[in-house]
Chain A
Amino acid sequence: QQQVKQSPQSLIVQKGGISIINCAYENTAFDYFPWYQQFPGKGPALLIAIRPDVSEKKEGRFTISFNKSAKQFSLHIMDSQPGDSATYFCAASSGSARQLTFGSGTQLTVLP
C-alpha cells in the first residue's frame, strides 16, 4: 500500500526555471516530511525536511511548502541548474513506526 504519492514521474526544466515536485500522504501520524536527492550510481542523500506544524522551510534554492489540511507537500527548486538533475524522493517519517515511507520518485532533468 503506497502511503505517499509523488508526481510527476519525470520533469524537464530549463536552466534558471523553477522545478516543482508534489507529494500527498494519507497517514496523519506522519511527523516529519523529508526530501532526498539521488544522483545516478549513488544512494539517496537527505536534502531538506519539514515538520507538519511549519508551512514552509527554505534552504538555499530549495523550499518545502506544506499544506496540512490538504495533506500535501511540495519541493520547489528555484533557479534550477543542470547540476540539480537527479531523482528526487519525498518521504514521510512515522515516529511510532520508526520508519520512512518513500514516494516513487521524480526524475528531474535541467536543460542547459
Chain B
Amino acid sequence: EAGVTQSPTHLIKTRGQQATLRCSPISGHTSVYWYQQALGLGLQFLLWYDEGEERNRGNFPPRFSGRQFPNYSSELNVNALELEDSALYLCASRSRRAPYYEQYFGPGTRLTVT
C-alpha cells in the first residue's frame, strides 16, 4: 500500500510570491491534514479537509489556504510569502473510521523563502 506522497520535495520562493504544495493521501483515506514544522516549534496544525470540505483551521493567517479535490488529494496555497514561512510542510491522511490521532504523514515539502 502506497503511503502519503507530497510534491515537490523542495520549493524555493522569494518573498511576496505564492507557493502551491500538493498531497496525495493513502488510498481510501478521506481526511487530509496540513501541518507546518518550523525548527524547534514542533508541528503546528494548519488545516483539515474531509470529504472535500474544510473542517477546521489552526491559528494561521488567511493567506494560508487550500482545497481538497474529489479524489481526496489536496493542495496547500500560501500567498504573499514571508521569510518566516520557511519550514517543512507536512501532509497527513486519516481513514474515516480511524480515531483523530491516527494520522499517516508524508515526507513533507521543504519551503524556503528568500
Contacts and interface: CB of A to CB of B under 8 A. Distances in A.
Interface of A: 6, 9, 32, 34, 36, 41-46, 49, 89, 91, 93-95, 97-105
B101 A93 contact: yes
Contact of B4 (A43, A91, A97, A99): A43
A27 B51 CA distance: 28
15 contacts: A6-B42, A32-B99, A41-B107, A42-B107, A43-B92, A49-B99, A49-B102, A93-B99, A93-B101, A98-B48, A98-B56, A99-B58, A100-B33, A100-B101, A103-B42
A102 B43 contact: yes
A contact face: mostly helix, strand, loop, or mixed: strand
Interface residues of B, number: 25
B105 interface: yes
B103 interface: yes
Interface of B: 4, 33, 35, 40-45, 48, 55-56, 58, 90, 92, 99-108
Contacts of A49: 99, 101-102
B105 A43 contact: yes
Contacts of B100: 32, 93-95, 98-100
